[in-house]
Each structure stands twice: as structure tokens, then as C-alpha cells.
A and B are shown apart, each in its own frame.
Chain A
């Protein structure tokens, strides 16, 4: 069965610093992986998705994620954090019935 694990429920960075949010997956088949962002009082929005076309995936708002099969990871990064990046981030993997398995989420805080 497919699943994801997000390491770190809270991450705090300074404005301008590198953002690294960790996600490891478990899947018996080639995984379809996603990152979502949730701002306060809103639903989840798609940041980016991995579909095996390329291991480095670029998303919106300057975020990108790299698929590493050897490490079963799909970490999310952004070179320089902005105050507006403060939100909760969810990693997810597609299940075999088109359902989505979400991680527990990582809350990103950006300090001025």
C-alpha cells in the first residue's frame, strides 16, 4: 500500500533562508507524488506533482521537489523563503483506487 511520511511537524526558517521540507514515500509500484500547501482558512492547493517525466519538478511560488528513488524521498525545497510562504505543507501519494494518501503535514514558519 502506498503511504508517505513527513519528517518534522514544524519547521522554522528565517526570511531569505533555504526551505527544506522532507517527505519519504512507501510504494510497491512507481509512485505518483504531490505537494500541497494550505494557507489559513483555505483548502489545499497543488504546489507540484511528480509523474515520472523528470526527477526534478518545479512548482508554483518558486518551490521544487526532487524525486530520489534510491532514498524513497520527495523533499520540497525553495532557495529563499518569503514571509508569504508561511503555511502548512502536505506531501501525498496516489493510491491504487485514485484516492490520495496524505502525510501529517509540516507547518512552516518564516521569521523576519
Chain B
């Protein structure tokens, strides 16, 4: 069974550059979540989608961040322009929307370093 797949696993880029993080949820899952994890702030929910529709993006820190889910099997998180304070590990997770007992399944994350 393929889990949540994130790419790239590591990204190092200079400030001002555009960064695109990618996520493929588990097949059949209809909820998708983007998180950011740092030592200072812990695990933060950035945005989540139900059936490809953004439900809550109140966690997106600034307009520099945007997320899309063009279809049920793919989502992107974009940062443009990137800044050093965006350095973090970004996780994607997916779950079944039906039933509150459904857990979220996490990818291995993208470790982003902005120089």
C-alpha cells in the first residue's frame, strides 16, 4: 500500500526563489492537509482540503503561500518569494472524510532550507 508521497524530500534554495512542494495523497482519501513543523512553533496546520476544495486556509502565514489541489491525487504548496524564516519541515497528510474515527496519514515531509 503506497502511503502519502511528498517530493522533494529536501530542498535548499536562496531567498527570493519560488519553491513548490508536492503531495500525492493515499488513493481514495478525500481530505488533504498541509502542515509546517519548526522547533519554535511545533506542528502548525496551514490549509486543508475536502474533496479538492480548500476548507480552511487561516493557517497560511502570508500571501506568499498558496496551495492548490487540482485533482484528488495531487496537491501543491507554493512559496513565492521564499524567505529564510520559511525554513521548516513541511508535511502533507490525507484521510478519509467520512467518519470521525478516521486518522490522518502523514508523508515523510519536505525539509526546506532557505538561505
Listed in ascending order, the chain A residues whose CB lies under 8 Å from chain B are 32, 34, 36, 41-46, 49, 51, 90, 94, 97-100, 102, 104-105
- Cα-based distance from A25 to B24 in the complex (angstroms): 31
B108 close to A105 (CB less than 8 A) = no
Assess A105 versus B91: contact at CB under 8 Å? Given A43-B109, A49-B103, A97-B55: no
Is B115 located at the chain interface by the 8 A CB criterion? no
Give the number of residues in B that approach A within 8 Å (Cβ atoms): 25
Which residue of B has the minimal Cβ distance to A33?
B101
- Say yes or no: B50 contacts A98, CB within 8 Å: yes
The closest CB in chain B to the CB of A45 belongs to B106
| 0/1 interface trace, chain B 33-45, chain A, CB 8 Å (1 if under) | 1000000001101
Q: Are A34 and B109 in contact (CB under 8 A)?
A: no
A43 touches which of B55, B95, B106 (Cβ 8 Å): B106
Encode B86-115 as 1/0 by CB contact (under 8 A) with A: 000001010101001111111111010000
Q: Number of A-B pairs whose CB atoms are under 8 Å?
A: 57
Q: Is the Cβ of A44 less than 8 Å from the Cβ of B100?
A: no
Q: Please, which residues of chain A bring their CB within 8 A of the CB of B43?
A: 44, 90, 102, 105
| A97-B104 Cα distance, complex, nearest whole Å | 13
Q: Which residues of A contact B50 (CB under 8 A)?
A: 97-98
- When distances are taken between beta carbons in the complex, the residues of chain B under 8 Å from A41 are 108-109, 111
- Which chain B residue lies CB-closest to A102? B43
**Distance A96 CA – B111 CA, assembled complex (angstroms):** 30
A99 lies within 8 A of B106 (CB)? no
Please determine whether A104 and B106 come into contact, CB atoms closer than 8 angstroms: no
Q: Can you offer 29 A-B residue contacts whose CB atoms are under 8 A?
A: A32-B100, A41-B108, A41-B109, A42-B108, A42-B109, A43-B93, A43-B108, A44-B43, A44-B106, A45-B106, A46-B103, A46-B104, A46-B105, A49-B101, A49-B103, A51-B100, A94-B100, A94-B101, A97-B50, A98-B50, A98-B95, A98-B97, A98-B102, A99-B48, A99-B55, A100-B33, A100-B45, A102-B43, A104-B42
